[in-house]
Structure 1
Amino acid sequence: MIEDELREAFARHEAQAPALGPLRRAIDGLAARRRRRRAVTRTGAAAVAVALALALPVQLWRGQFEVPLPLGVGASDTVAPSGPLNLLLLGLDRRGTMRDSRADTIMLIHLPADGSQAYLVSFVRDLATDLPGFGKIKINGAYTLGGVEAARNAVQRLTGIRADAVAEVEFDALRGVADALGGLPVCLPQRITSQHTGAVFPTGCRDYTGTQVADLMRQRRDLPHGAYDRDRIGQRVLLGLAAKAGSRSLLSDFGLVSQLARTPGITLHAGDLSLLGLAMRLNRAEAGDIVGISQPTYNGTKIGGVFYEQLDPAVAPRLFQALRDDTMGAFAQAHPDWVLQE
């Protein structure tokens, strides 16, 4: 009697069970999405990740439709996202633990929907901001206190823009990337003497090694506008990197791709965005179409005995509105003093 009742119960449950085929496909699809998500949040995520992490609208897709990259993404993923994109770059001066690390370069890279240009919008590291639970801090402290998401949220509170992807790039990682590309051309408007090594970087355009680039990116003292000038140096390095990478047919050079993939100190957080799709999207802008945007000079104040920088109260809201409205071209024309000059 008990055996018959058990058989009837199993029969009833078997009839109610869903078909295994669709269930299996759904499970496999979920597992694949999770594998892709892990693949795009990692250190040294090959050449496309390096390009994205350094915010380069480089020529990554010039006729190359068979890409020799082990990125864990398939052909179904290679769809360029539409609409404007905003990528947050955090240039890190890594010193031991997280609490010893600082985001000394904070840059929002805006890619307009029409693909006409790319805009590198720098935020000086001493900019005053409020961090929930900590009160008034300098914006570079958001990363130190709360990591990537705290830094992303700080920029979002400031601009009203939620970054679509975030890249952590250690200054020392630039050394390996620059050397792998055979050095970088960087154009400087003035002579700079390193406060760390004593090296002299002359006015004009020169090719610099990885060690020289890493040194140059740290300079701010004795410059007319301090950290603002350092941010402009960072923009000039990215311009040089974009120009060099754009001339190397990056994705067709598997040896170079493998070398870049081993570069430590670069981590990309792209969520569900496809790396190859982003590469296709980034390709719309030429290296010469990259525009650097930053506040031209100091606007400091003391709050509670601590010196902070403040954004221009008249122009900064217009900048953030232009980012939200995807009208950065009009902003650059209206405010040429905020535009990086050659």
Structure 2
Amino acid sequence: MTYEVDHVRPRPARRGRRAAWIVVTAVAVVVLGLVVASVRYLNTLSNTYESNAQVFVESFPEEQVRPVKAEHDESINILLLGSDDNGGSGTTEDLPRVPQGGRSDSMMLIHVPSDRESMQVMSIPRDLWVEVPGHGSHKINAALSLGGIPLTVSTIESLFQVRVDHVAAVDMLGFIGVVDALGGVTVNSGYDHSFTTEQGFTFHPGWQEMTSEEALSFVRHRASFPDGDLQRVRNQQAFLRAVLYETLTPSNLRNPAKVQEMVETFSPHLTVDETLDAGAAAALRWNLRDTSESVDMLTVPTGGSGYSEDGQWIFYPDEQAMDDITEALAESTLDEYANSL
């Protein structure tokens, strides 16, 4: 069983020429918030977002098959997908395609509890073996190729019995622009050994400054790790923590030129559901205004690995943990669950 929980931890960002990606999915929420970071520039930034961001024509399954929120439940749940036109973790892998033509290589569920005092970013291993509604058992990322965004949403909703309020997907080029505007990041690698990627970059435990090419290699690599994709998820989360902190610093949020640059470079590579317009983004940013120091990150636990009947290497779900997560989401206490691990 594998669990990963951590908090956003402050660390100064450093210079960098380009960006890395994959955790781009969760950064989408932050960038959407930047659209309304300054009231003075609201109209300009909102117009930039509205004119550039693409919209999923079909975002959600039929209403009658979706979970219904309890009357007291005011939480917000956002499904975030990462895509990579260059193949994510390798061009030979058979990954489903997202609508923009990239490949789905990262899936996260962001949960904002009803009290708005924290935010949880839950990574979902792409090789998790689950029931895809109407299609039997598959890896969870197969839902995208079998039925697009609506079936992906339906799979997540049936897995955790939770309502998905918004969907966002972003490709690598968009994230390049965001990190470029930030000036790079310094990432804390939590892996307890040094490792060298296929591109020839060597990473050591602890904090280290990364160029965009190094960071991209860092979040893609998995060949060196005994648990493969699970350690790659941890690396993605470490990178995300660095980007989240730097993006949410007051100096960045109060810098109109930097905010405008982030929105201009990111929004053309962002695809959202019809309800996530500039107004919804503004409300989201307002709801998250006090959560920058209360971001919990966790990975959906696994119950071991093996091979499916058709020969695919998979992660089995931890059924007890899945029940606990379902209950925590229903009670809007995923923060307590994350911190109890």
**TM-score under structure 1 normalisation?**
0.71
Identical counterparts, % of pairs: 26
The 8 Å contact of residues 190 and 235 in structure 2, kept in 1 or not, is answered as no
The alpha-carbon deviation at position 235 of structure 1 amounts to 1.6
1:101/1:194 CA distance change after superposition, 3 Å: farther
Partner residue in 1 for 2:91:
none
Which segment drifts farther, 189-198 or 224-233? 189-198
The alpha-carbon deviation at position 120 of structure 1 amounts to 1.0
The residue correspondences of 1:82-101 to structure 2 (distance < 5 A) are: 83-95=74-86, 98=97, 101=102
The 8 Å contact of residues 181 and 258 in structure 2, kept in 1 or not, is answered as yes
The alignment status of 1:317 with 2:292, answered yes or no, reads no
Which segment drifts farther, 292-301 or 175-184? 292-301
Residues 276-305 of structure 1: per-residue CA shift (max 9 Å, x gap): 11111121202x311111145661233323
The 8 Å contact of residues 36 and 45 in structure 2, kept in 1 or not, is answered as no
> Any gaps of 5 or more consecutive residues in structure 2?
1-23, 51-72, 88-95
Q: Secondary structure at the match of 1:163?
A: coil
Partner residue in 2 for 1:36:
none
AA at the equivalent of 2:316: Q
Structure-1 separation of matches of 2:211 and 2:155: 34
Partner residue in 2 for 1:54:
28
The alpha-carbon deviation at position 107 of structure 1 amounts to 0.7
AA at the equivalent of 2:245: A
Of 253, 256, 267 in structure 2, the residue corresponding to residue 254 of structure 1 is: 256
**TM-score under structure 2 normalisation?**
0.71
Structure-2 separation of matches of 1:304 and 1:213: 36
Partner residue in 2 for 1:188:
189
Structure-2 separation of matches of 1:268 and 1:62: 17
Larger radius of gyration: 1
The residue correspondences of 1:227-266 to structure 2 (distance < 5 A) are: 227-247=229-249, 249-260=251-262, 261-263=264-266, 264-266=268-270
The residue correspondences of 1:80-229 to structure 2 (distance < 5 A) are: 83-95=74-86, 98=97, 101-132=102-133, 134-190=135-191, 191=193, 193-229=195-231
Partner residue in 1 for 2:338:
332
The alpha-carbon deviation at position 220 of structure 1 amounts to 1.7
1:98/1:294 CA distance change after superposition, 3 Å: closer
The alpha-carbon deviation at position 194 of structure 1 amounts to 4.7
Measured on the aligned residues, the alpha-carbon RMSD in Å equals 3.1
Residues 204-235 of structure 1: per-residue CA shift (max 9 Å, x gap): 11232332222222122221321111112222
Q: Secondary structure at the match of 1:309?
A: strand
Structure-2 separation of matches of 1:53 and 1:118: 13
The alpha-carbon deviation at position 109 of structure 1 amounts to 0.8
Q: Secondary structure at the match of 1:196?
A: coil
Structure-2 separation of matches of 1:232 and 1:54: 18
> Any gaps of 5 or more consecutive residues in structure 1?
1-49, 75-81, 337-342
The 8 Å contact of residues 84 and 111 in structure 1, kept in 2 or not, is answered as yes
Larger RCO, structure (CA 8 Å, separation 6 or more): 2
1:59/1:186 CA distance change after superposition, 3 Å: farther
The 8 Å contact of residues 90 and 167 in structure 1, kept in 2 or not, is answered as yes
AA at the equivalent of 2:272: L
Residues 111-148 of structure 1: per-residue CA shift (max 9 Å, x gap): 11212221111111011123345432211122233332
Which segment drifts farther, 245-254 or 92-101? 92-101
The alpha-carbon deviation at position 181 of structure 1 amounts to 0.5
The 8 Å contact of residues 107 and 125 in structure 2, kept in 1 or not, is answered as yes
AA at the equivalent of 1:91: G
The alpha-carbon deviation at position 322 of structure 1 amounts to 0.2
1:299/1:119 CA distance change after superposition, 3 Å: same
Structure-2 separation of matches of 1:313 and 1:296: 9
Structure-2 separation of matches of 1:63 and 1:70: 9
1:296/1:158 CA distance change after superposition, 3 Å: closer
The alpha-carbon deviation at position 174 of structure 1 amounts to 2.5
Q: Secondary structure at the match of 2:271?
A: strand
1:324/1:194 CA distance change after superposition, 3 Å: farther
Structure-1 separation of matches of 2:141 and 2:35: 34
> Greater helix percent: which structure?
1
The alpha-carbon deviation at position 177 of structure 1 amounts to 1.5
Partner residue in 2 for 1:292:
297
